[in-house]
Amino acid sequence: MSDFDRIASNIAIWHGYDSAVKAELYSTCLGTSGGNYLIDPIPLESEALSELVGSKSVAGIIVTNCNHHRASAEFAEKFSAPLFGRTEAFPNKAEPDLKRVADGDKIYDELTAIDIEGAVEGEIALNYAPDDGTFIIGDALINFEPYGFTFLPAKYCSNGKQMRRSLRKLLAFKAKRMLFSHGTPILSDASERLRSLLDGSL
């Protein structure tokens, strides 16, 4: 991809269509005082990448599930940065620089990983607390046509009911925004919209 969109002073996204999986793939950059965290990254042209990262280091590459390795290994090598993810997200290889995360772990100050069981293997969501809060979702929630904002379709879930129960853990956090690995961002009232979605699925 040749460009990115900055949606807050410390948050940017970039995206592109992948014909292999027939889906639009979204990636996120979170800028923290400890460096940048790149989430489910897809390739980005060098000039845009330099502008995205700026003067900050890349503190880590976060992989939200086993299907979202994308360009994570290449980014980790380029920036000499560790990979973060659940063990289940890396089932077929031992990553020497993998920092394993579990439910409730702080990847960095105010950046929390939340296990989402029942979705794709190794699924996590992230909550970044600053600036009224931001959720970053792997596959458990989507936001694109013709589906709109909804749950990952059942055929892709290991257990759809379990996934919906697990997503309720996100209601313990406050978030104005919600970013997706597949779909356009929600930039206001994200927690309220999630609660409505979950309550409507009972």
DSSP 118-175: TSSTT-EEEEE-TTT-EEEESSSEEEETTTEEEEPPGGG-S-HHHHHHHHGGGGGS--
3-class secondary-structure state, position 194:
helix
pLDDT value, residue 96: 67
Q: Is the peptide bond before 146 cis (omega within 30 degrees of 0)?
A: yes
Model confidence over 33-62: pLDDT tens digits?
A: 999 999 999 999 999 999 999 999 999 999
User: Which of 68, 62, 74 shows the shortest CA–CA distance to 108?
Assistant: 62
- Give the predicted TM-score (pTM) of the model: 0.95
Alpha-carbon distance of 126 to 76, in angstroms, equals 19
- What CATH fold (topology level) applies to the domain 5-200? Metallo-beta-lactamase; Chain A (3.60.15)
Position 97 scores a pLDDT of 76
Given a cut of 90, whether residue 22 has pLDDT beyond it is no
Q: How confident is the model at residue 109 (pLDDT cuts 50, 70, 90)?
A: very high
Q: Which two tokens stand for residue 131?
A: 């600036």
117-172: pLDDT as tens digits: 999 999 999 999 999 999 999 999 999 998 999 999 999 999 999 999 999 999 99
pLDDT at 20 over 90: no
Mean pLDDT of 182-200: 97
- Is residue 95's pLDDT more than 70? no
Closest CA to 59 of 109, 16, 9: 109
Is the Cβ–Cβ distance between 177 and 127 less than 8 Å? Answer: no
Q: How far is CA 162 from CA 47, 70, 115, 122, in A?
A: 42, 26, 12, 14
Place of tokens 């699925």: 201
